[in-house]
A = this chain, B = another copy of it.
């Protein structure tokens, strides 16, 4: 339905691509940008294009990165820590970084094991992860997958691999609400979850 302008209709439709944005919110966003903040709208357009075109994946930890190796992987102090934290998504890395409590490396699965959906170990990079364990620089892998059925299963699967390479495996404490998603947890809870981590057998 075109009411005022096809371009505004197109903008409203495009804004609904954003998670959690329905028709009314998209309308409000479109009009507010056009009325009061066209400069902000153009900077958003530019940021979207730049990010989509130039953000790829770190070759070492698989997180989003605009360089071959991300800043976290290139940090010598993190490399020397001997700690590797396994998470499901880049958003989880950001959530953990914002606690400022963890100073080790990451490995980002970009998902979790899900046999019913045909997602096996290689789809989430576990062959690469095994190579990292074999490399000998990792003393402890901290399993920070989501506290869901799939996240738990993935954590235990990785703990089994770690055991083969004599790498200690730990799971973040269940201070995080079971069934929830890691990136929504507040920083204090996440900090406690890290400090209260337990060795996985």
Contact = CB atoms under 8 A, between A and B. Distances in A.
Interface of A: 2-8, 10-11, 13-15, 17-20, 25, 27-35, 37-38, 40-52, 54-55, 63-66, 70-72, 89-91, 93-94, 97-98, 110, 183
Contacts of A35: 89-90, 110
A55 to B, nearest CB: 5
Identical subunits present: 2
Nearest to A40: B17
A18 B8 contact: no
A117 to B, nearest CB: 14
Contacts of A28: 19-20, 91, 183
A124 B17 CA distance: 34
B47 A10 contact: yes
A8 B90 CA distance: 11
B65 A14 contact: no
| A-B complex: 9 closest residue pairs judged by Cβ atoms | A17-B40, A14-B47, A45-B48, A31-B91, A14-B44, A45-B45, A11-B47, A11-B51, A38-B52
Contact of A32 (B19, B42, B55): B19
A65 B4 contact: yes
B34 A42 contact: no
B48 A4 contact: no
A41 B17 contact: yes
Given A28-B183, A42-B48, A34 B3 contact: no
B27 A91 contact: yes
Contacts of A97: 3-4
A52 B64 contact: no
B44 A4 contact: no
